């Protein structure tokens, strides 16, 4: 039965930073199950929520564009993270960060209290979007066009603060919110293991499942603490890609200038022209090798982004599973709906681990490819040293010293030395990250095998 929508009041419904809650829905957004925290915050009993559309808790302060974005992702079977302001039964509000996952029976949404500086920025953006939606809705524009236009404005806003798309923003936001949550209550996640007053095989099975959930949670907490290394790798890859592209452009420019100066030489012009041609040929090869290296870097950055997001999401999912198992044990919950909800969460964590192993394998391949491409690039750049030396000899042989040609050779030499330094730095980064990737792959496979054996 549909519940009357309450009038919003400016009162925040409190809940703890350490609390997590979830709900499951079918593909149409009809609530199938949730935990006790969801029931308490919404103000509805679980029995009242089951069978209701999830928008029973939609707050009118939420821009429609955000919900459309959420559905766009989910209907493409893509995970999404979003800040959401919810409406409780008494009209109070509560903000959450929601991780919404496509699962076999519909969708799983895991929520927690946001607290990072990103959250304040998002509230301001939402207010602006909502105001814009209301103004557009007052015109003759259709609802579909209003949502489309405000989604475009959301994309433009994200681009203006450095995010090329919503994926990039939500990856950062989830990571920062989890870090903020952990810094505000670092001890809260050492959740005491609940005990059951019931006996028998059901209670024993729940205890076993809690043990493996705790193992998974601790594993991903450890992984999460290593994310800075991956973030730094992506940052360095982007910088080195830009640097190599700049070197290729610089060498092409120097080749053109060298050709011009050799034509102007009063003597020994033919020899200097050969030097200019050598620079031009190497510039072309640097461009080709740089493109191969850039493709490998792009692949690496993409895989590393997937690893970072999967680790953050799995950290949250495994903690939610652990907390829910404690709730089941304390309250002796073991009916069909409860068990199905638990299996959905556990199954998705296992899927995430499998996906993580694949991403780690692809990352290892991309690192190897970058190492190989870097070595090839170094060989090409090395030949410029011989051209540099030959150029200096030819300039010295000229009756009229060509200062401009000497300047070109000096710039080329600087480019060569800087490129050597960048390639050496890249090789060092790859070596360190490769060690981490190998360790994570081994640990993830062991975790997968352990979960499969329990």
Q: What is the pLDDT of residues 316-363, one digit of tens each?
A: 999 999 999 999 998 888 888 899 999 999 999 999 999 999 999 999
pLDDT of residue 399: 61
- pLDDT over 90 (residue 50): yes
Q: Which residue has the higher pLDDT, 56 or 241?
A: 56
Separation in Å, CA 191 to CA 113, 261, 324, 384: 17, 74, 11, 61
One DSSP character per residue, 166-204 reads HHHHHHHHHHHHHHHHHHH-TTTTSPPPP--S--HHHHH
pLDDT of residue 448: 93
Residue whose token pair is 């080329």: 412
pLDDT digit string (tens) for 129-139?
999 999 998 88
Q: Kindly indicate the confidence band of residue 201, based on its pLDDT and cuts at 50, 70 and 90.
A: low
CB 146 within 8 A of CB 91: no
Average model confidence (pLDDT) across the chain: 90
Q: Is 163 helix (H, G, I), strand (E, B) or coil?
A: coil
Q: Kindly indicate the confidence band of residue 261, based on its pLDDT and cuts at 50, 70 and 90.
A: confident
Q: Kindly indicate the confidence band of residue 299, based on its pLDDT and cuts at 50, 70 and 90.
A: confident
pLDDT of residue 119: 97
- pLDDT over 60 (residue 401): no
CB 229 within 8 A of CB 320: no
pLDDT of residue 82: 97
pLDDT of residue 173: 96
368-382, 395-409, 422-436: range with lowest mean pLDDT: 395-409
pLDDT of residue 320: 95
Mean pLDDT calculated for residue range 3-30: 93
- pLDDT over 80 (residue 191): no
- pLDDT over 80 (residue 196): no
- pLDDT over 60 (residue 217): yes
| Contacts of the segment 427-435: beta carbons below 8 A, 24+ positions apart | 427/371, 427/374, 429/233, 429/236, 430/367, 430/370, 430/371, 430/374, 432/229, 433/229, 433/230, 433/233, 433/367, 434/364, 434/367
pLDDT digit string (tens) for 424-448?
988 888 888 999 999 999 999 999 9
CA nearest to 67, candidates 124, 138, 118, 129:
129
> Rg (Cα) of the chain, in Å, rounded?
29
């Amino acid at each position: 039965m549909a519940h009357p929508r309450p009038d919003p009041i400016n009162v925040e419904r409190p809940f703890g930073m350490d609390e997590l809650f979830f709900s499951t829905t079918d593909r149409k957004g009809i609530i199938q199950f949730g935990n006790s925290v969801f029931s308490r915050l919404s103000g509805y009993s679980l029995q009242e929520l089951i069978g209701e559309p999830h928008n029973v808790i939609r707050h009118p302060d939420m821009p429609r564009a955000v919900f459309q974005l959420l559905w766009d992702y989910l209907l493409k079977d893509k995970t999404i993270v979003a800040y959401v302001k919810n409406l409780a039964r008494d009209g109070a509000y509560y903000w959450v960060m929601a991780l919404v996952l496509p699962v076999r029976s519909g969708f799983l949404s895991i929520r927690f209290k946001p607290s990072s500086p990103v959250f304040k920025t998002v509230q301001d953006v939402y207010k602006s979007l909502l105001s814009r939606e209301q103004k557009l809705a007052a015109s003759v524009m259709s609802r579909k066009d209003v949502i489309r236009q405000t989604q475009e404005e959301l994309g433009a806003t994200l681009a203006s603060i450095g995010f090329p798309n919503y994926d990039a923003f939500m990856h950062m936001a989830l990571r920062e919110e989890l870090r903020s949550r952990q810094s505000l209550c670092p001890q809260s996640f050492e959740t005491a293991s609940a005990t059951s007053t019931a006996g028998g095989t059901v209670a024993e099975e729940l205890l076993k499942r809690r043990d493996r959930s705790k193992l998974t949670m601790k594993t991903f907490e450890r992984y999460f603490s290593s994310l800075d290394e991956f973030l730094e790798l992506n940052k360095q890859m982007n910088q080195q890609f830009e640097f190599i592209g700049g070197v290729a452009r610089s060498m092409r420019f120097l080749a053109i200038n060298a050709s011009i100066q050799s034509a102007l030489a009063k003597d020994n012009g033919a020899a200097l022209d050969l030097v200019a041609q050598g620079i031009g040929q190497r510039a072309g090869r640097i461009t080709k090798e740089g493109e191969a290296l850039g493709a490998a870097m792009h692949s690496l950055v993409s895989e590393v982004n997937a690893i970072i997001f999967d680790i953050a999401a799995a950290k949250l999912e495994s903690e939610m599973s652990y907390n829910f198992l404690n709730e089941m044990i304390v309250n002796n919950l073991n009916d069909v709906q409860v068990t199905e909800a638990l299996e959905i969460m556990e199954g998705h964590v296992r899927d995430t681990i499998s996906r993580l192993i694949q991403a780690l394998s692809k990352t290892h391949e991309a690192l190897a490819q970058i190492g190989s491409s870097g070595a090839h690039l170094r060989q090409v750049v090395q030949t410029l040293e011989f051209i540099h030396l030959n150029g200096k000899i030819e300039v010295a042989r000229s009756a009229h010293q060509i200062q401009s040609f000497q300047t070109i050779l000096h710039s080329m030499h600087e480019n060569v030395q800087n490129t050597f330094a960048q390639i050496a730095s890249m090789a060092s980064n790859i070596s360190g990250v490769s060690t981490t990737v190998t360790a994570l792959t081994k640990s993830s496979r062991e975790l997968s095998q352990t979960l499969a054996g329990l």
